A = this chain, B = another copy of it.
Amino acid sequence: MIEPRTLKGFRDFLPNEARKRQYVINTLKSVLELYGFEPLETPALEYEEILNGKYGEEGDKLMYRFEDNGKRRVALRYDQTVPLSRVVAQYQNELPFPFKRYQIQPVWRAENTQKGRFREFLQCDADSVGVNSSLADAEIIRVVIASLENLGFKKFTINVNDRANFTGIDPLAILTIDKLKKIGKDGVLKELQEKGLPTNSLDQILGKNVTPRLEEFTQILNDQRVSFDSTLARGLDYYTGLIFEVEVDGYTAGSVCGGGRYDNLIGMFAGRQVPAVGFAFGFDRLMEAMEQLNLFPTDLQTAKVLVTIFNTDLRDKSLELSSRLRSNKINTELYLDENAKMEKQLKYANQKGIPYVIIIGPEEAAKNTVQLKNMGSREQKELPLEEVIKLLK
């Protein structure tokens, strides 16, 4: 016998969890499509050289990479921005620009799982490629706001900054200053000293103001939930303009979404500068925040009703009714074992959270009625077929 187990940092999503994930994915998709973003899919495996060196030293270390059967060096998708950049370069003559795409696929990083991080996780990205307008920047934030609103979040803040504010400041110092909220001013100063970095860079950054470009963006967006934060840096070094992170009120484990403008990354593949701006939702944080704030609908069950089977003689009655319910677009589960006791069938519905159960015994079959049991209230009533269909629809 082989021990059934999963790798550390990798997860199975059983139906209850998978349904919640689908709900969030579908909500995000519908918002993105409302704004004209189009789907894109890229392969899980890329040539290693496509991903190498794009995510800093840390990224190179955490990447899953190996040699395939054909002796090619390959790596698993580490994010969706680099694959997007490759795609834009590869198909630049056939893609219409602006190219507005979204992408919702898993990425893989060999993270230290003790931090509660996962090694396989979903990312939800949207980017506008080929325009450097503030209009594009504002739309990206507008989509983030609409996404959060549609998921049910009531209060959140979009912290923004402009990478131009870091001109002339040591890039390593920026990485330290980015931790200001986590480790405080003293912590930052200490770390700057320890690393031999200029300690005055913190004051320099704290003194920065809204740039003209941010001014224009803010005016177009016109939303009170946007807040300027001169210390916001974002880890990745490919950003060139607007950068932002989203904090949700009542959820303290970190930002649920981040992004910004990166006008030089695509050029590494395309051989010409192609501006871009976009965001990525951290899917697991989003799910966690929704769970904590109780934002999931309570009616995410797959089946609305379980049709039980009274006995073999009455099996066809239950089969027939199931068909009729389904042709009325009612999600219907038929219990698949005609020899199971009714008690077992009811227990099954209960365990799965199916809200209604139908029983057709000999009396009901003779009268063309059914017993409809509401599993929440435990109420049961006899109804003609037509009534049941109307009620469940």
Chain A residues packing against B (C-beta within 8 Å): 1-8, 10-15, 18-19, 21-22, 33-47, 49-50, 64, 66-70, 72, 74, 76, 86-87, 89-91, 94-98, 100-101, 106, 108, 110, 120, 128, 131, 133, 135-136, 139, 146, 220, 268-271, 302-303, 306, 309, 315, 319, 326, 329-339, 348, 351-352
CB distance from A107 to the nearest CB of B (A): 10
Q: Is the CB of B2 within 8 A of A36?
A: no
Given the contacts A46-B7, A90-B4, A336-B131, A302 and B33 also touching, CB distance less than 8 Å:
yes
Q: Is the CB of B35 within 8 A of A333?
A: yes
Show 21 A/B contacts (Cβ-Cβ < 8 Å), sorted by A: A4-B50, A4-B90, A4-B269, A5-B90, A6-B43, A7-B74, A12-B43, A12-B90, A18-B38, A18-B41, A21-B41, A35-B333, A36-B331, A36-B332, A44-B108, A45-B108, A64-B68, A96-B351, A135-B336, A135-B337, A220-B315
Q: Is the CB of B36 within 8 A of A4?
A: no
Q: Is the CB of B337 within 8 A of A133?
A: yes
How many copies of the chain does the oligomer comprise? 2
Q: Is the CB of A37 within 8 A of B4?
A: no
Q: Is the CB of B336 within 8 A of A2?
A: no
| Chain B CB within 10 A, most for which of A2, A47, A335 | A2
CB distance from A111 to the nearest CB of B (A): 10
Q: How far is the CA of A309 from the CA of B138 in the complex (A)?
A: 15
Q: Is the CB of A135 within 8 A of B315?
A: yes
Q: Is the CB of B19 within 8 A of A40?
A: no
Which B residues touch A268, using CB under 8 A?
1-2
If A1-B268, A7-B47, A135-B334 are given as contacts, then 18 extra A-B residue pairs at C-beta distance below 8 Å, sorted by A number, are A1-B271, A2-B268, A4-B86, A4-B87, A4-B270, A7-B68, A8-B70, A10-B43, A11-B43, A12-B90, A15-B39, A18-B39, A36-B331, A36-B333, A44-B44, A44-B106, A131-B337, A133-B338
Q: How far is the CA of A90 from the CA of B7 in the complex (A)?
A: 13
CB distance from A72 to the nearest CB of B (A): 7
Question: A14: which of B74, B95, B100, B335 is its contact (CB, 8 Å)?
Answer: B95
Q: Is the CB of B36 within 8 A of A302?
A: yes
Which B residues touch A335, using CB under 8 A?
98
CB distance from A209 to the nearest CB of B (A): 25
CB distance from A264 to the nearest CB of B (A): 12
Which B residues touch A329, using CB under 8 A?
34
Q: How far is the CA of A311 from the CA of B259 in the complex (A)?
A: 28
Which B residues touch A18, using CB under 8 A?
38-41
| Chain B CB within 10 A, most for which of A4, A86, A95 | A4
Given the contacts A2-B50, A72-B7, A332 and B34 also touching, CB distance less than 8 Å:
yes
Which B residues touch A47, using CB under 8 A?
5, 7
Q: Is the CB of B220 within 8 A of A319?
A: yes
Which B residues touch A90, using CB under 8 A?
4-6, 12
Q: Is the CB of A334 within 8 A of B36?
A: yes
Which residue of B has the minimal Cβ distance to A307?
Answer: B36
Q: How far is the CA of A170 from the CA of B374 in the complex (A)?
A: 54
| Chain B CB within 10 A, most for which of A36, A40, A146 | A36
CB distance from A4 to the nearest CB of B (A): 4
